[in-house]
Amino acid sequence: MPLDARKIQHIVQVITRSFASRQRTVVIVYLASGSYTYAGVQVIMRSLHVVNPQIVDGSGHALPLNADTLLIAPLGTSFTGAVFVADTTSATSGAVAAASKYEIVEVLPVGIVPGGSHLRVALRRIR
């Protein structure tokens, strides 16, 4: 059965409500015209796995640099011009400088509705 506008709206509303109790604020740092801007966004953020970059694999090579953190963001969040994500609730330069920082590996719209119902963002911690 195809999804009509009412069904799509209902799915997006249910997904938004299901995110409410699991969200926290992070700051996305953008670079535009040589100046940094900060935007606080409510997201779900969790670690995928813990990787020790000093341990090599069985062949003696360093482990590949894959994403180590998953971020679920609302569909309207823009990652155009985003430099990194800072794990802080305060959108100030001092708070961002002191926070853990994550580089953006990949941004994908995902979900049951056409065009996605939320964004799945793969992040890698900047060490």
Position 35 confidence tier, pLDDT thresholds 50, 70, 90: very high
Residue 53, token pair as written in the block: 């970059």
Whole-prediction pTM value? 0.79
pLDDT of res. 3 = 81
Whether 102 and 87 have beta carbons less than 8 Å apart is answered as yes
The average pLDDT across 43-70 equals 71
**Average pLDDT of the residues in 88-116:** 92
Identify the band that residue 21 occupies on the pLDDT scale cut at 50, 70 and 90: confident
Residue 97 predicted with pLDDT over 60: yes
Residue type, 31: L
pLDDT at 45: 92
DSSP-assigned states of every residue in 2-61? ---HHHHHHHHHHHHHHHGGG-EEEEEEEEETTEEEEEEEEEEEEE-----TT-B-TTSP
Determine the Cα–Cα distance for residues 65 and 3; give it in Å rounded to an integer. Answer: 39
Residue-wise pLDDT tens digits, 65-78? 678 899 999 888 99
pLDDT at 30: 97
Query: Domains of the chain: which residue ranges?
Result: 5-125
Average pLDDT over residues 106-115: 89
CB pairs under 8 A, 24+ apart, for 76-81? 77/28, 77/41, 77/43, 77/119, 79/28, 79/104, 79/107, 79/119, 79/121, 81/30, 81/31, 81/32
CA distance 127 to 125: 6
